[in-house]
């Protein structure tokens, strides 16, 4: 079954089971086990052995990410114990006067933290949860804003771990071509536009509307749905904590993580360890392109933890004993996210999203390389394929690795069609990542908002699908107009995209106004 469509079956099983049963851990494990059984020919014991072999490989390769998550969990606990989170919530409550302001502030902070999506999800969640809770914003709405200002912002930021990942898949000066794709990345930019539109228009639809109304009427930010993440409401905060006890640690964390990226990209090569001076990056842009994001974040966050701990002890807001006690609390808070990530990585591994085992990558490459589709269809086709692969594998970066080299090989060079197709691939991968229950970014957005994971997936899907539908039409138009040149075809694409977006939003608002108000009873309060 290697190199065939059946390689995607483990992900399909895991996703369908998760959405039906809402039991994420069991569904993901069964998906991995089915994939292992397919690989070994149906021998249960050998299949179980393969499950743990794949799991050990994927977890071993991602230890720095796990370290980063645990350190962030510890830092979140410390910020709560110091009183900084409480003080910031009180300050924001005085400065931010409305729900619109709280939503816009959350989205703005998400756009400002563009270095890495993992860092974005957990930092924005921990900082803004007290503020959004104060204004009765549902956790599903918070997790949507976090998710929609994480990957979409990173994929259009020239200095980010995502830019480095994409540039590494492109020939020649990959970073220059990556920058060329930014204006054509309709999904990422339109998603950000939609987030701010929803914030200011106070407009929701689908299950999200139900959750927002429930939270407004009852004050229950979980909208009557049990949370599968670790809540830290029992942590006592220091009454002497000030806003600076949150702001300064966040700044330290950002600076240290950026410094970690520059260090790993400039001084270090993870295949040959320390590199010769002749091979060192000559500037910061190259350093970001060459960095190892996971290791950078692990190093940066660990150094930040040490500095922040010293800062809190000097400020006398957290004692040394409380700091060491936060290690266990921080780890506990991240256990759900780490467990889901472990299974998600394992599914990607057994499927062979980057080659090996069931070798889904070979299936995609073999079928695309021999494609006879006309070139003007390529942007739309690659957008849809990237979305499907990212949804099934739960990885944007793995999708880049599969499709970007194929697009460049088929179209060649760096012409307008190649740039348009690569940008469509990047946008499609972010879309698939958004709607996939096994995506690491989706998981961390749930963890950052402390929202039920399946609920986050269900409420976000209609929003992401709306933008994706507009993008598919836009890329069809873009493919037809590509001969007009990059600038003119880009203008036409955005005119089409924005016209469709405004028209659909007006239509949806009209439909929602005509619907009967939602009445909450004992039965439907826990739907």
How is residue 193 annotated by DSSP? H
- Select the more confidently predicted residue: 132 or 281: 132
Percent of the chain exceeding pLDDT 90 equals 16
Rounded to an integer, what is the distance from CA 507 to the centroid of its chain?
A: 29
Helix (H) / strand (E) containing 269: strand 268-269
Is pLDDT above 60 for 274?
no
**The tokens 């900082």 sit on which residue?**
127
- 442 Cβ neighbours under 8 A, 6+ residues apart: 147, 394, 433, 434, 435, 436, 453, 456, 457, 460
The dihedral region occupied by 223, where left means phi > 0, alpha psi between -120 and 50, and beta the remainder, is: left
- What pLDDT sits at residue 142? 92
- What pLDDT sits at residue 160? 66
Per-residue pLDDT of 6-54, as tens digits, reads: 887 887 888 788 767 767 678 888 888 998 998 888 888 988 999 899 8
Q: Could you tell me the two tokens for 58?
A: 């994927």
Q: Say if CB 456 and CB 143 are below 8 A apart.
A: yes
Distance CA 5, CA 7 (A): 5
First to last CA, the chain: 40
Q: Say if CB 447 and CB 229 are below 8 A apart.
A: yes
DSSP string, 204-257: --THHHHHHHHHHHH--TTTT----S---TT----TT--THHHHHHHHHHHHHH
- Antiparallel, parallel or unpaired: β 273-274 and 268-269: antiparallel
User: What integer is the mean pLDDT of 157-173?
Assistant: 65
User: What integer is the mean pLDDT of 496-514?
Assistant: 87
Q: Give me the half-sphere count of Cα atoms (radius 13 Å) on the Cβ side of residue 441.
A: 32
User: What integer is the mean pLDDT of 311-338?
Assistant: 85
Q: Could you tell me the two tokens for 364?
A: 């995609």
pLDDT confidence of 330, banded at 50, 70, 90?
A: confident
Q: Say if CB 418 and CB 434 are below 8 A apart.
A: no
Percent of the chain exceeding pLDDT 70 equals 82
Which has the minimum average pLDDT: 101-110, 122-131, 272-281? 272-281
Of the candidates 395, 397, 411, 456, the one whose C-alpha atom is nearest the C-alpha of residue 139 is 456
Angle subtended at Cα 82 by Cα 67 and Cα 110, rounded to the nearest 5 degrees: 60
Of the candidates 124, 125, 71, the one whose C-alpha atom is nearest the C-alpha of residue 299 is 71
pLDDT confidence of 279, banded at 50, 70, 90?
A: very low
Distance CA 129, CA 124 (A): 8
Per-residue pLDDT of 360-399, as tens digits, reads: 777 766 766 556 667 788 889 889 988 988 887 777 776 7
Of the candidates 137, 91, 410, the one whose C-alpha atom is nearest the C-alpha of residue 243 is 91
Q: What's the mean pLDDT when you consider all of the chain?
A: 80
SS3 at position 268:
strand
- What pLDDT sits at residue 88? 75
Q: Say if CB 334 and CB 230 are below 8 A apart.
A: yes
Q: What is the CA radius of gyration of the chain?
A: 23
pTM (two decimals): 0.72
Rounded to an integer, what is the distance from CA 139 to the centroid of its chain?
A: 16
| φ, ψ dihedrals at 313, nearest 5° | -65, -40
Distance CA 102, CA 221 (A): 14
CA distances from 100 to 21, 258, 344 (A): 34, 31, 35
In this structure, the number of other CB atoms found within 10 A of the CB of residue 222 comes to 19
HEC profile for 370-419? CCCCCHHHHHHHHHHHHHHHHHHHCCHHHHHHHHHHHHHHHHCCCCHHHH
């Amino acid at each position: 079954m290697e190199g065939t469509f059946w390689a995607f079956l483990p992900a399909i099983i895991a996703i369908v089971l998760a959405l039906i049963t809402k039991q994420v851990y069991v569904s993901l494990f069964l998906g991995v086990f089915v994939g292992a059984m397919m690989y070994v020919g149906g021998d249960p014991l050998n299949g179980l052995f393969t499950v743990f072999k794949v799991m050990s490989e994927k977890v071993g390769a991602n230890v720095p990410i796990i370290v980063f998550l645990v350190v962030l969990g510890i830092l979140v606990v410390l910020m709560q114990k110091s009183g900084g989170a409480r003080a910031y919530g009180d300050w924001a409550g005085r400065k931010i006067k409305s729900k619109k302001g709280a939503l816009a502030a959350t989205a703005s902070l998400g756009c400002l933290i563009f270095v890495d999506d993992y860092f974005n999800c957990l930092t924005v969640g921990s900082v803004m949860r007290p503020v959004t809770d104060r204004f009765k914003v549902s956790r599903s709405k918070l997790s949507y804003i976090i998710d929609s200002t994480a990957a979409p912002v990173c994929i259009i930021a020239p200095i980010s771990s995502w830019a480095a990942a994409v540039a590494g898949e492109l020939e020649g000066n990959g970073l220059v071509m990556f920058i060329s794709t930014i204006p054509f990345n309709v999904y990422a930019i339109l998603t950000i536009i939609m987030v701010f539109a929803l914030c200011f228009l106070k407009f929701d639809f689908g299950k999200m509307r139900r959750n927002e109304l429930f939270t407004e009427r009852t004050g229950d930010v979980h909208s009557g749905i049990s949370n599968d993440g670790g809540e830290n409401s029992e942590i006592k905060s220091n009454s002497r904590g000030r806003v600076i006890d949150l702001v300064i640690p966040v700044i330290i964390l950002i600076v240290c993580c950026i410094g970690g990226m520059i260090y790993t990209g400039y001084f270090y090569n993870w295949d040959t360890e320390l590199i010769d001076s002749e091979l060192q990056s000559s500037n910061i842009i190259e350093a970001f392109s060459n960095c190892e994001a996971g290791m950078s974040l692990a190093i940066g966050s660990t150094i930040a933890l040490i500095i922040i701990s010293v800062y809190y002890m000097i400020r006398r807001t957290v004692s040394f004993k409380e700091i060491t006690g936060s290690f266990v609390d921080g780890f506990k808070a991240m256990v759900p996210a780490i467990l889901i990530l472990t299974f998600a990585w394992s599914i990607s591994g057994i499927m062979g999203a980057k080659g090996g085992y069931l070798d889904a990558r070979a299936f995609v490459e073999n079928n695309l390389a021999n494609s006879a589709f006309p070139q003007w269809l390529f942007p739309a086709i690659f957008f849809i394929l990237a979305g499907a692969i990212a949804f099934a594998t739960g990885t944007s970066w793995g999708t880049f690795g599969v499709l970007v080299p194929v697009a460049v090989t088929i179209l060649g060079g760096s012409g307008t069609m190649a740039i348009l197709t690569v940008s469509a691939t990047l946008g499609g991968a972010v879309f698939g990542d958004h709607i996939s229950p096994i995506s690491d970014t989706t998981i961390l957005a749930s963890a950052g908002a402390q929202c039920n994971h399946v609920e986050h997936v269900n409420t976000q899907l209609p929003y992401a699908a709306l933008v994706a539908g507009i993008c598919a039409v836009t890329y069809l138009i873009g493919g037809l107009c590509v001969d007009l040149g990059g600038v003119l075809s880009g203008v036409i694409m955005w005119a089409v995209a924005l016209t469709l977006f405004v028209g659909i939003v007006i239509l949806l608002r009209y439909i929602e106004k005509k619907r009967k108000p939602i009445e909450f009873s004992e039965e439907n309060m826990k739907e």
